[in-house]
């Protein structure tokens, strides 16, 4: 198929660089660029920051965890004057 395209200066530079580096014709470089761009799957960065929660007790010992929570609750009640 024959068509006329108008390239931006940046796009033209990319095509010309591909022609020089890989010994392609203009037609081959444009076709290759189109095919490569449609074959490349888009990726989304799905990473989130992580934070160290610094356990203040051994999570395998539930009685210690409950005692720590009871202590915090008792301190909060004393601070409120309840």
CA separation for the pair 6, 30 (Å, rounded)? 12
**Residue 52 placed within a domain:** no
- pTM here? 0.47
Taking only the tens place, the pLDDT of each residue in 3-52 is 999 999 999 999 999 999 999 999 999 999 999 888 867 788 889 999 88
CA distance 73 to 5: 72
Q: Which residue has the higher pLDDT, 77 or 17?
A: 17
Number of domains in the chain: 1
Enclosing domain of residue 13: 9-39
> Would residue 27 count as lying in a domain?
yes
Note the pLDDT of residue 57.
Answer: 65
In sequence order, what E strands does the chain have? none
Q: Is residue 3 part of a domain?
A: no
Tell me, yes or no, whether 21 lies in a domain: yes
């Amino acid at each position: 198929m024959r068509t006329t395209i108008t390239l931006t200066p940046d796009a033209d530079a990319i095509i010309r660089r591909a022609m020089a580096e890989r010994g392609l014709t203009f037609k081959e470089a444009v076709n290759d660029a189109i095919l490569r761009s449609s074959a490349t799957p888009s990726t989304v960065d799905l990473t989130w920051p992580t934070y160290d929660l610094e356990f203040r007790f051994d999570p395998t010992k539930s009685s210690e965890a409950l005692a720590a929570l009871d202590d915090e609750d008792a301190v909060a009640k004393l601070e409120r004057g309840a």
